[in-house]
Copies of this chain bind each other. A is one copy, B any other.
Amino acid sequence: MEISNKKLSNDSFFAEREKVLNQWKTGKEVDFKSSVEHQKSIPAEKRFGLKLADAATKGLTLIQPRAGVALYEEHINLLKYLENEGEADLLPTTVDSYTRLNRYNEAEEGINKSKETGRSMLNGFPIVNYGVDICRKVTSALKKPLQVRHGTPDARLLTEISIAGGFTSYEGGGISYNIPYSKNHSIEQTISHWQYTDRLIGMYEEAGVSINREPFGPLTGTLISPCLSGSVAIIEALLAAEQGVKDITVGYGQCGNLIQDVAAIKSLESLTRMYLDKFGYTDVRVTTVFHQWMGGFPQDESKAFGVISWGAAVAVLAKATKVIVKTPHEAMGVPTKEANAAGLLATKQLVSMLRDQDLRTIPAVIAESEIIGEEVKCILNKVEELGKGDIAVGTVAAFEAGVIDIPFAPSKYNAGKVMPARDKMGAVRLIDTGNLPFTPEIKNFHRGKLEERAVQEKRPVSIQMVIDDVYAIGKGFLVGHPGKR
């Protein structure tokens, strides 16, 4: 498979399209023209990108849950509940795992079993199986803008049906919906799949319909250094922009150290802007999303509220455009609508209460964002170099070479040499930088931070720290100090 970061030609796009729309019976319902019409009939206050732009102007942080169940009437009720009782500003439709893996037969079975048992047997809403009309029923039934959230390596058909179905924002990307969500998809393959998605959205854009696109920031959600998530987000933004996407929300999953988290959002925003401009995509709009703690959650619901609220606070102190909200059921399973609303309300309280505060200008944050900036530049320079100027080609090579390398990823196309651990203040650093193309200064910086911790803990820097850190949060701590009470 050969890819390059070039806008897909109409010929190749439409050839591919024919096959895509034949992947499942509902594909035939999709008609671009009438979908554009439908999208144009959606009122402004329900357009995702407009709502984000408005929030960005006002300096507000919007709140958005994750949610999806197998049966569509229940899905509508769930989302209504979240916008009314949960005070959500933005709505999701989280897609089930079978759909994510294009296993539409199993999803169909899941729908049927759910009907029989009266319990949702799917962990999300099977958009493809339902098709365009039912999606329009869903998106029309609600007052707030809706986004599709999933984790689908090959999301081409899903994109077709989603946008035709009236969703105005779409999450994912060729890297971020591959590396954490798949074992066997190559990067070429998924980048190519997502060029299709982005080109489709580019075509809506050209037809006068702007759809918001959001690379999935948190990746595996576990000890992801901001430079790694940042590099991936910027690459996906560039790839999307090339296909004609004009509205991009870059994301980051909370790591837990306040200074680092604020710096991560701050630098993510400025670096994305910088790179888009550098490659000439100056008309692409950039907003940011902060994901509340994406790793293992405490079992106790009150403790979970603590984690949720802390994420809410950091999101607003970092002035993220929106925050994705966890629920007090997170450690247990897909939340009930009440638990989902509870997470939203705790978050709403803090995004309102702290809206006039901003930590982006404190010196420690500025220093930390400069470090992130340098790290990202090292990585992206190397990606450009490997691709001889072509970001798509460079990305494939970069993963092969471990120049981009995501901790804890299931994908066999990920090198898995990079090892993260927390420094003594809880910021995520790298114990092993693997083949990341860092300068000696940056490597020393990471090493130094971890040596500080080692001294404090009276043990050498080692893999045991990584294990302790992953384990720590289940016990309530960020840093896995040995022998903590």
Interface residues of A (CB under 8 A from B): 256-259, 298, 300-310, 312-313, 317, 341-350, 352-359, 362-364, 424-426, 473, 475-479
Contacts and interface: CB of A to CB of B under 8 A. Distances in A.
Contacts of A477: 352-353, 355
B476 A303 contact: no
B478 A346 contact: no
Contact of A425 (B345, B353, B357, B362): B357
Given A258-B357, A356-B424, A346 B305 contact: yes
Contacts of A348: 303, 306, 476
A362 B259 CA distance: 11
A365 to B, nearest CB: 9
Contacts of A364: 362
A444 B345 CA distance: 39
Contacts of A346: 302-303, 305-306, 309
12 contacts: A302-B342, A302-B343, A302-B345, A303-B349, A305-B305, A305-B306, A306-B347, A306-B349, A306-B350, A309-B309, A348-B476, A352-B476
Nearest to A305: B305
Nearest to A453: B356
Given A298-B349, A308-B309, 9 more contacts: A258-B357, A258-B359, A259-B357, A302-B345, A303-B349, A306-B349, A310-B350, A353-B477, A356-B479
B305 A353 contact: no
Contacts of A307: 349, 353
Contacts of A357: 257-259, 425-426
A134 to B, nearest CB: 31
A475 B301 CA distance: 25
Contacts of A257: 357
B356 A425 contact: yes
A471 to B, nearest CB: 13
A310 B353 contact: yes
Nearest to A423: B356
Contact of A353 (B306, B342, B353, B355): B306
A354 B353 CA distance: 21
A83 to B, nearest CB: 15
B305 A302 contact: yes
Contacts of A302: 305, 341-346, 349
Contacts of A356: 424-426, 478-479
B317 A353 contact: no
A300 B348 CA distance: 11
Most chain B CB inside 10 Å of its own CB: which residue of A309, A343, A352: A309
B303 A345 contact: yes
Nearest to A312: B306
Contacts of A355: 477
A357 B422 CA distance: 12
A354 B304 CA distance: 14
A197 B423 CA distance: 47
A306 B350 CA distance: 6
A355 B424 CA distance: 10
Contacts of A426: 354, 356-357
A305 B349 CA distance: 9
Contacts of A317: 258
Contacts of A363: 362-363
A389 B472 CA distance: 54
A353 B292 CA distance: 14
Nearest to A481: B356
Contacts of A349: 298, 300, 302-307, 476
A478 B353 contact: yes
Most chain B CB inside 10 Å of its own CB: which residue of A302, A313, A363: A302
Nearest to A343: B302
Q: Which 8 A-B pairs have the closest CB atoms?
A: A309-B309, A306-B349, A302-B345, A352-B476, A303-B349, A305-B305, A306-B346, A302-B342
Contacts of A473: 353
A259 B362 CA distance: 11
A475 B353 CA distance: 9
Contacts of A362: 362-364
A345 B306 contact: yes
A4 to B, nearest CB: 45
Contacts of A359: 258
Contacts of A301: 342
Nearest to A425: B356
A307 B347 CA distance: 10
